[in-house]
Structure 1
Amino acid sequence: MSIQIFILSKLMEDNTYPYELKKQLSEPIPLDKLGGLTESKLYYHFDSLAKQGLIEAVEIIKEEHRPDKQVFQITAKGREELPKKIYKVMKNADKISDMIVCLANIKYVERSKVVSILEDKLEKITDRWEQVKAFDKLVQRDADKEQFIDFISSYVTTRNEHTIQWLEELIKRVKQGDF
């Protein structure tokens, strides 16, 4: 879904074709390789968006000794669906890293809805973390498992507190309009 959000957001700015987007993603940092985005995946998502009626072909560029390039534009339905796709990914995201494409395209959604989604997420994580901390009192500690329990406890504590801290920071920055 993040790939489709990326495609739709690029088409909000200007008409383009799949290979051009692939090129943009690979220069100067090879984000396509880092994200595992192959040309075939990109073409698949263009095709999927076209079948959904969210984009449409508007031009074919013919060049000698080169394959034809099919240029796409976003449709009215695509403009309407982009925010819905962004909200859906943000609601379903387990980590901030799962929301990066959405956050990069925050200008296409209502900040207040994004804040609400993030605050709900923060509340659930905080509640769950409080429950997990209560389990520590129930764990039987014996000398054989003491180091293992301390290791796991430290790992889980650091990870959860880190997640909570960065979600709070993200909420603050979205509210301030930092991006």
Structure 2
Amino acid sequence: MSVKLIVLGLLMGGEKHPYEMQHIMKIRKLDKFVSFYKGSLYYAVEQLKDEGFIEVSQVIKEEKRPDKTLYRITEAGKNEFQDLLLQQMSKEEQYYDPLYTALVFARYGDSKKIATVIHQKLSYAEKKVQVLEQAFAEIPPQTARAVQYIYKGMIETAKAEKKWLQELYADILADQLG
């Protein structure tokens, strides 16, 4: 996901300081489904400012603290947000799992060792389902419905992966991969 989209999206809700943006992302548990480096947020803010998509709304000066710069989205930024939003939603991403490559040749491998690896992956998948369900149960009721759908999608995907691994594991134990 584009860090620029994240910054612009957060600013659609009102002016914010980059640290506040990070805090909101943490509270909303965006780290569960968005991957980015914290330093990239500040870099994106600078880029968006240079491109005219956001602007400084105010600088708060406090004694014994560094200045706090608040940003707001511009009209050009609102248009850019709409473009980035639709681009992100339109992306067709191919799912690649390294396990797929290995499975092609699994019939030549040691089935006991393969079973051990798949059992570990299955345990991880079971844990992932539990963690996602717990996270979903803990989100505040006022959380946007769209975010709730993200969790629901991640949970259903994790459950499907778990089921698939259970079937694969059973076939490996029954020596049916050949």
* TM, length-normalised to structure 1: 0.48
